């Protein structure tokens, strides 16, 4: 039983990280109608620069984190302003494929710099763990969970109550009227991407601290698993992103935890689990659990 609870806690904390990534997707999708395949690149950039500023430039952790997030935000802004915006009016698929090009470019560069090294992030919690109710939870995971939850809560509060948040929702819902009311579409779009960049960078931190050894090229494969999380929740639902993220995280960790029982499914099955869950959900709900069902307007 403790084994199961342990896995559940781990799953939820991983799920919270996926939720951060999925939320970034959804925000971008709702504001600019693009599926950002360069999201893993944003994550890698944030994590890479944080690690570099910490280990190479020896900056204090908090400063390195802020700078790393800043770089990710800047990249997100550049992509939106100079590429996505230039393609406004083109189909969703076309612009999304373009982001694949961005992803290839950025990830190739990061991977080139990493080489075969694993870059440690240099966080202050290292491998410290907390023992509660017979469960052992790494400190970093707790920090990640607390941070994620706090961020998600703050985001939703901001989205709901602040002027900018309302502007964003209005713009997504009814761009024409929103524009007439003075909400600058381009500003909302840029803001959406910048926020997503920040969320991705933070998720990257959570994925590269203990129990992960650090940042390595394989980290981006983990980031890819946030796609199913966003899809499961529904590409245009912020609540769905959170639910989807947690669902995928729990499913993955459970599959990993019970790997010996599931040995017949092959080694490393837990990496496929998110995609399996995604396909199952999509068969029942073609637009995800909370996504808007499309209405056929002709």
Partner 1 sequence: MTVALAVANVTVRFAGLTALDQVSFTVEHRAIHAVIGPNGAGKSTLFNVVSGAYRPTSGTVSLGTVELTRMPPHRIANLGVARTFQNLALLPSASVEENCLLGRHHLTRTGFVTGGLRLPSARREERRHRGRVAEIAGFLGLGEHLATPVGQLSYGDQKRVEIARALCVEPALLLLDEPAAGMNASETAHLAHLIRDIRDALGIPILLVEHDMGLVMGIADRVTVLDFGRRIADGTPAQVRRNPEVLRAYLGDDLVEA
Partner 2 sequence: MSEVQELTRAAVEARPTRGGPARRYRAFGWLALAAAVVVAPFYVDAFWLQIGLFGLAAAVAALGLGLLLGQAGQLSLGHSFFVAVGAYGYTVLAAEPEPGQLGASLPPVVAAGAAVLLAGVAGLAFSPISARLRGIYLGIASLGLVFGGQHVLFNAEPLTGGFNGRNVPDFTLLGLSFGDLRGEALFVLGVPFGREEKLWYLGAAVTAAAYLFFRNVARSRPGRALRAVRDNEVAAEILGVDVARYKAYAFGVSSMYAGAGGVLLALAFSRIVPETFGVGLAVEYLAMVVIGGLGSAGGVVLGAFFVSSLPTVLERYVPALPGGIPPAVAAKFAYGAAILLILVKTPRSQRSRP
Binding site for partner 2 (CB under 8 A): 35, 83, 86-87, 90, 92-98, 100-105, 108-109, 111-112, 224, 227-228, 231, 235, 266-269, 271-272, 275-276, 278-279, 282-283, 286-288, 294, 296-298
Q: Indicate the residue among 90 and 185 with the shorter CB distance to partner 2.
A: 90
Among residue numbers 237 through 296, which ones bind partner 1 (CB under 8 A)?
295-296
* CA within 13 Å, CB half, 2: 7
Q: Indicate the residue among 132 and 280 with the shorter CB distance to partner 2.
A: 280
From CA 241, how far away is CA 244, in angstroms rounded?
Answer: 5
Q: Are 159 and 169 in contact (CB under 8 A)?
A: yes
Q: Indicate the residue among 89 and 182 with the shorter CB distance to partner 1.
A: 89
DSSP count for the chain of H helices, then E strands: 12, 2
Number of residues that bind partner 1 (CB under 8 A): 3
Q: Indicate the residue among 122 and 291 with the shorter CB distance to partner 2.
A: 291
From CA 225, how far away is CA 203, in angstroms rounded?
Answer: 12
Beta strands in the chain (DSSP E): 129-132, 135-138
Contacts of 183 (CB under 8 A, 6+ apart): 167, 170, 171
From CA 76, how far away is CA 197, in angstroms rounded?
Answer: 5
89 part of the interface to partner 1, by CB under 8 A: no
1 part of the interface to partner 1, by CB under 8 A: no
Q: Indicate the residue among 87 and 137 with the shorter CB distance to partner 1.
A: 87
The least distance separating partner 2 from the CB of residue 243, rounded to whole angstroms, comes to 17
Residue 224: name its binding partner from partner 2, partner 1, none (Cβ under 5 to 8 Å by kind). partner 2
Distances (CA, A) of 40 to 126, 130, 174, 263: 24, 30, 29, 29
The least distance separating partner 1 from the CB of residue 89, rounded to whole angstroms, comes to 13
- Give me the residues that bind partner 1 (CB under 8 A), please: 295-296, 298
């Amino acid at each position: 039983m403790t084994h199961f609870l342990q896995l559940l806690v781990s799953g939820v904390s991983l799920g919270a990280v996926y939720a951060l990534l999925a939320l970034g997707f959804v925000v971008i999708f709702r504001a600019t109608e693009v599926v950002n395949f360069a999201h893993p690149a944003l994550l890698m950039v944030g994590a890479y620069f944080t690690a570099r500023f910490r280990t190479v430039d020896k900056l204090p952790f908090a400063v390195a984190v802020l700078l790393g997030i800043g770089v990710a935000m800047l990249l997100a802004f550049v992509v939106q302003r100079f590429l996505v915006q230039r393609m406004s009016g083109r189909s969703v698929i076309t612009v999304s494929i373009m982001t694949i090009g961005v992803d290839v470019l950025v990830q190739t560069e990061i991977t080139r710099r990493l080489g075969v090294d694993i870059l440690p992030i240099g966080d202050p919690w290292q491998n410290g763990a907390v023992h509660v109710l017979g469960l052992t939870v790494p400190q970093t995971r707790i920090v990640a969970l607390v941070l994620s939850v706090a961020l998600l809560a703050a985001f939703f509060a901001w989205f709901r109550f602040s002027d900018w948040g309302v502007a964003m929702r209005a713009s997504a819902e009814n761009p024409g009227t929103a524009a007439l009311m003075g909400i600058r579409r381009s500003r909302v779009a840029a803001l959406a991407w910048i926020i997503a960049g920040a969320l991705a960078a933070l998720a990257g931190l959570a994925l590269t601290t203990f129990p992960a050894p650090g940042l390595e090229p394989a980290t981006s494969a983990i980031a890819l698993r946030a796609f199913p999380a966003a899809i499961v929740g529904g590409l245009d639902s912020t609540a769905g992103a959170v639910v989807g993220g947690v669902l995928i995280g729990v499913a993955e960790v459970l599959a990993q935890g019970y790997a010996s029982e599931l040995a017949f499914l092959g080694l490393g099955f837990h990496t496929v689990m998110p995609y399996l869950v995604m396909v199952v959900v999509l068969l029942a709900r073609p637009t995800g659990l909370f996504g808007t069902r499309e209405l056929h307007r002709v």
